[in-house]
Amino acid sequence: MNVIEIHDLHKSLGNFSLKDVSFAVPQGTVMGFVGENGAGKSTTIKCMLNLLKKQYGEILLFGKDIVEHELSIKNDIGVVFDDLYVPETLNATQLDKIMKKFFKTWDSSYYFERLVQFNVPKRKKVKELSRGMRMKLSIALALSHHPKLLILDEPTSGLDPIIRDEILDLFLEFMQDETHSILFSSHITSDLEKIADYITLIHNGEILLSESKDVLLYEYGIFKGSNEEVNDLPEHAIIRTRNGTFGMEALVLKNEVNQAFKLEKPSIEDILLFYVKGRVERW
């Protein structure tokens, strides 16, 4: 079962357009949604939440159309944006009272347990909290109505590595329930290497790649050599090429290349750079 299915989504905003965006997130998995700033990640997420009206295409969450079943769907979703967008004069205790009115399944006991776990002060105003504390409060708010799906839009951006690691552990804890799923939008690929099961790459409003992380990390390789050496690789094995520091680099399918060619193991960032900046045609 897919917890998210997007088919041929199109949305124009000024000079920018989502162009026939399609991908799916299987239930019980974490999908890393990556792309540079302005690639279309946030626009896609806002369409998924019906905060932006799609022009055409289909968006299904839990198998239901988001436009037709928005209220029932949103009770099963927790959302974390890149900051905490609530009135800054409120504190965590006051936010609990407000959230009770929005969610039938709001669990105050669970919420305050999370605040203790995250070391978030209950009576300090939002505007007085550090960025890391604001994000932890945002996560506590997103989790405390017991959602089945978390949608995360750059939640670790701008945080120091220690806080980022703590937050990733919270998401891994959420995923201990095999019915839970996460769509994790980020440009920090090292975070996604830790937590994601799948990677979807968006660039200029188009999906370039949607694949299992294990396939990307263990079935792809990087060959570095001269133009002539790259041309000796089997053509069907080459995914992308690009200019390297001392010649050419090729992203290849490892099993389609003779072991005589020495290959390097790629990172998620390496693969994304090949897809965004590399060429399909051979040199």
Judged against a pLDDT cut of 60, whether residue 282 lies above it is answered with no
Judged against a pLDDT cut of 90, whether residue 271 lies above it is answered with yes
Angle at which helix 131-143 crosses helix 108-118, to 10 degrees, equals 150
**How much is the mean pLDDT over the chain?**
92
Judged against a pLDDT cut of 70, whether residue 25 lies above it is answered with yes
What pLDDT, on a 0 to 100 scale, did the predictor assign at position 283? Answer: 47
Find the range with the poorest average confidence among 14-28, 105-119, 157-171: 157-171
Q: What is the mean pLDDT of residues 140-148?
A: 96
Radius of gyration of the chain (CA): 21
pLDDT digits (tens, 9 = 90+) for 85-114: 899 999 999 999 999 998 989 999 999 999
In CATH, what is the architecture of 2-212?
A: 3-Layer(aba) Sandwich (3.40)
Beta-sheet strand order (sheet of 2-13): 16-26, 2-13, 56-61, 64-65
**Is there a contact between 111 and 53 (Cβ–Cβ < 8 Å)?**
no
DSSP 3-state of 148: coil
Q: What is the mean pLDDT of residues 203-228?
A: 94
Q: Identify the band that residue 70 occupies on the pLDDT scale cut at 50, 70 and 90.
A: very high
Domain ranges of the chain: 2-212, 216-277
pTM: 0.91
pLDDT digits (tens, 9 = 90+) for 234-249: 999 999 999 877 789 9
Q: What is the mean pLDDT of residues 107-130?
A: 94
Q: Identify the band that residue 12 occupies on the pLDDT scale cut at 50, 70 and 90.
A: very high
Q: Exposure string (b/e) for 200-229, b if CB count within 10 Å is 16 or more?
A: bbbbebebbbbeebeebbeebbbbbbeeee
Q: Identify the band that residue 281 occupies on the pLDDT scale cut at 50, 70 and 90.
A: low
For residues 24 and 164, the model is more confident at 24
Q: Identify the band that residue 185 occupies on the pLDDT scale cut at 50, 70 and 90.
A: very high
